[in-house]
């Protein structure tokens, strides 16, 4: 076990949460984009909401629990990684706006499946997690500094 394990774990989470905030920002920025990608029919589709999935870097909780129960080793986790960025497959919102350039014959426009309220909640969650990891990183740094002062 290294003295830098806590810092490495916090750093991996900071990186993952930063990516999560970037994806949420992209979702908010494209909440009104009606021509994001062209489908196989040659028609444009609205922007699809993207979501970040995180996973532990090494193992799952069950393996850590089994390892802790059956040994005296104080091995700890290695942080988190982004396992994938997926698109939300929920249907697009249909809005009546006959003056919109992408309106169909009936005057309806397919809008992105981005809910700004949901995105703001996700952004607040990622921000709070980022702040908690900064606090943890600073606490680890403070303990290491105190350990160095003891050696003087």
Domain assignment present for 134: yes
Render pLDDT for 33-43 as a digit per residue (tens, 0 to 9): 999 888 888 88
Domain assignment present for 100: no
Domain assignment present for 129: yes
Looking at per-residue confidence, does 49 or 63 come out higher? 49
Range of the domain at 123: 2-31+50-87+114-151
The pLDDT-based confidence of 71 (bands split at 50, 70, 90) is: low
Tell me the mean pLDDT in the region 81-97: 93
- What angle in degrees, to the nearest 10, is found between the helix axes of 5-29 and 116-150? 160
- CA–CA distance, 93 with 108 (Å, rounded to integer): 10
Domain assignment present for 63: yes
Render pLDDT for 99-119 as a digit per residue (tens, 0 to 9): 999 999 999 999 999 999 999
User: H-helix or E-strand containing 116?
Assistant: helix 116-150
Instruction: Give yes or no for a contact between 130 and 21, defined as CB atoms under 8 angstroms apart.
Output: yes
Domain assignment present for 12: yes
Instruction: Give yes or no for a contact between 81 and 90, defined as CB atoms under 8 angstroms apart.
Output: no
Number of domains in the chain: 1
Domain assignment present for 56: yes
Instruction: Give yes or no for a contact between 49 and 27, defined as CB atoms under 8 angstroms apart.
Output: yes
Instruction: Please state which of the ranges 22-26, 89-93, 142-146, 147-151 shows the lowest mean pLDDT.
Output: 147-151
Note the helical H segments in 4-115.
Answer: 5-29, 61-70
- CA–CA distance, 128 with 137 (Å, rounded to integer): 14
Domain assignment present for 135: yes
Domain assignment present for 39: no
Neighbouring CB atoms inside 10 A of 126's CB total: 21
- CA–CA distance, 88 with 99 (Å, rounded to integer): 28
């Amino acid at each position: 076990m290294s003295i830098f394990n806590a810092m490495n774990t916090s750093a991996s989470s900071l990186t993952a949460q930063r990516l999560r905030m970037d994806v949420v920002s992209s979702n908010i920025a494209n909440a009104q984009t009606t021509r994001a990608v062209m489908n196989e029919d040659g028609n444009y589709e609205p922007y699809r909401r993207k979501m970040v999935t995180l996973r532990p870097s090494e193992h799952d909780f069950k393996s850590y629990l089994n390892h802790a129960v059956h040994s005296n080793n104080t091995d700890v986790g290695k942080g988190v990684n982004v396992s994938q960025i997926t698109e939300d497959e929920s249907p697009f919102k249909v809005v009546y706006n006959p003056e919109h350039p992408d309106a169909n014959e009936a005057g309806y426009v397919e809008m992105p499946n981005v809910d700004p309220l949901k995105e703001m909640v996700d952004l607040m969650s990622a921000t709070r997690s980022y702040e908690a990891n900064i606090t943890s990183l600073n606490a680890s740094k403070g303990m290491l500094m105190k350990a160095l002062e003891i050696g003087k």
